[in-house]
């Protein structure tokens, strides 16, 4: 007798057709996503807004456009109103502030405020191997993106190799806890020192995007990077992406748990596919010896995910903010019936990665 609760999986909606990946169609999708996001609003200085702002900047960079005035104005308004920093998630918008600060130096003050909070000994807790904890006694995949990417960009902005190394150390420390030694997939998190082996799709997107950010930072050469650290991160990333490619459905969009647990199979997560697809295309573009299965899987993921962008510019069927679940069934009952800023942001990451890949001659097939 099975104890699985299949009620959610059995009522999952069927997959939608994939999106057109021509440059013209990608730009139309990107503009719709941008317009809809500003219409919906970004209300606070938090992680969803950080994901979305970085997605906007990646999209405009891919089109060789200036930093959007709306992003600069938003960052300035938030700074003027006063930013409350109480959690590692509050670091996420700082990455956009650092990128925008190259053209608007006043925005660096916001990042410095975040860095000051992070330096305070009482601001965060850490696991025994040094991994930042998302909550005390819990290491989550999310933190690699929300805090780690900020540390890397802060190091690049300051030309500080120690901060860049701290970013790399966080990726490696999180992988030691969350990356399964056999599958190569990342668990969502740990609880009281025990890894809970639920391979959450969006968590895998956070880790993959963070690792490729490190590879791209190293390739830019602004700050020296330790070769051993770079090799370890390259290995953990390619192992993860190859494992995801092997488990990808034909339509491109993984279920909310990417290994198709019975209680979750068919409950698709387009935001995870958008993030994973973006990471796959960016990895294929930067690694000369990238495993051959990664780029085709990236195209399938991006096409599949962008098929969920509706006529209003909303990425649909995006799961709400998801705390660590102790059993697989917990991921089958997360609401996915409204627009989410991280969904909009990850969709923009996907559009940007596709446009840049096409520009570099890595065409869909």
Rounded distance, CA 68 to CA 53, Å?
Answer: 10
For position 97, what pLDDT does the model report? 98
Cα separation, 201 vs 342, whole angstroms: 13
The pLDDT value given to residue 259: 96
* 225 is a domain residue: yes
| Residue 22 located in a structural domain | no
pLDDT in tens, the chain (365 residues): 357 999 999 999 999 999 999 999 999 999 999 999 999 999 999 999 999 999 999 999 999 999 999 999 999 999 999 999 999 999 999 999 999 999 999 999 999 999 999 999 899 999 999 999 999 999 999 999 999 999 999 999 999 999 999 999 999 999 999 999 999 999 999 999 999 999 999 999 999 999 999 999 999 999 999 999 999 999 999 999 999 999 999 999 999 999 999 999 999 999 999 999 999 999 999 999 999 999 999 999 999 999 999 999 999 999 999 999 999 999 999 999 999 999 999 999 999 999 999 999 998 87
What tokens were used for 219? 């390739």
DSSP per-residue codes, 296-342: HHHHHHHHHHHTTB-TTS-B-SPPPP-PPPSSGGGGGG----S--HH
With respect to residue 14, please indicate whether it lies within any of the assigned structural domains. no
For the record, the structure tokens of 334 come out as 């997360």
Whether residue 204 contacts residue 276, with contact meaning beta carbons closer than 8 Å, is answered with yes
Residue span of the structural domain in which 64 resides = 38-356
Whole-number Å distance between alpha carbons of 325 and 200: 10
Supply the pLDDT for residue 2. 56
What's the total number of domains in the chain? 1
Residue 128 belongs to some domain of the structure: yes
**Cα Rg for the chain, rounded, in angstroms?**
19
Q: So what's the pLDDT on residue 1?
A: 35
> Could you tell me if residue 235 is inside a domain?
yes
3-class SS at 93? Answer: helix
Tokens of 277: 């697809």
- What is the per-residue burial (b if ≥16 Cβ within 10 Å, else e) of 198-207? bbbbbbbbbb
Confirm whether 363 is domain-assigned: no
> Is residue 24 assigned to a domain?
no
Q: What is the CATH number of the domain that holds 232?
A: 1.50.10.10
- For the chain, how many residues are written? 365
CA 365 to chain centre: 24
DSSP lists the bridge partners of residue 189 as: 140, 196
Could you tell me the two tokens for 228? 């051993």
**Residue 85 counted as domain residue:** yes
């Amino acid at each position: 007798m099975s104890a699985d609760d299949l009620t959610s999986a059995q009522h999952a909606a069927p997959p939608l057709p994939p999106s057109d990946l021509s440059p013209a169609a990608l730009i139309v999708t990107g503009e719709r996503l941008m317009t809809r996001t500003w219409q919906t609003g970004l209300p606070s200085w938090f992680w969803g807004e950080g994901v979305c702002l970085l997605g906007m900047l990646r999209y405009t960079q891919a089109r060789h456009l200036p930093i959007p005035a709306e992003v600069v104005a938003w960052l300035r308004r938030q700074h003027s109103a006063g930013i409350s920093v109480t959690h590692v998630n509050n670091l996420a918008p700082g990455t956009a502030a650092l990128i925008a600060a190259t053209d608007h130096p006043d925005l660096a003050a916001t990042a410095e405020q975040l860095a000051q909070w992070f330096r305070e000994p009482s601001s965060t807790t850490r696991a025994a191997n040094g991994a930042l904890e998302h909550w005390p006694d819990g290491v989550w995949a999310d933190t690699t993106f929300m805090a780690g990417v900020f540390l890397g960009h802060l190091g690049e902005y300051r030309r500080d190799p120690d901060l860049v190394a701290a970013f790399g150390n966080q990726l490696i420390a999180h992988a030691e806890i969350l990356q399964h030694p056999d599958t190569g997939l990342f668990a969502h998190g740990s609880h009281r020192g025990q890894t809970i082996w639920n391979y959450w799709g969006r968590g895998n997107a956070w880790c993959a995007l963070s690792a490729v950010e490190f590879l791209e930072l190293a390739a830019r050469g602004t700050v020296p990077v330790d070769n051993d650290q770079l090799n370890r991160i390259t290995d953990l990333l390619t192992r993860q992406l190859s494992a995801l490619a092997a488990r990808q459905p034909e339509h491109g969009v993984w279920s909310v748990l990417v290994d198709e647990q019975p209680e979750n199979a068919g409950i698709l997560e387009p935001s995870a596919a958008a993030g994973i697809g973006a990471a796959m295309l960016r990895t294929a573009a930067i690694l000369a010896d990238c495993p051959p299965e990664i780029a085709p899987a990236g195209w399938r993921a991006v096409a599949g995910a962008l098929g969920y962008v509706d006529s209003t510019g909303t990425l649909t069927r995006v799961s709400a903010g998801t705390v660590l679940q102790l059993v697989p069934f917990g991921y089958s009952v997360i609401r996915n019936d409204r627009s989410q800023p991280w969904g909009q942001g990850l969709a923009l990451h996907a559009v940007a990665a596709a446009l840049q890949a096409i520009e570099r001659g890595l065409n869909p097939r």
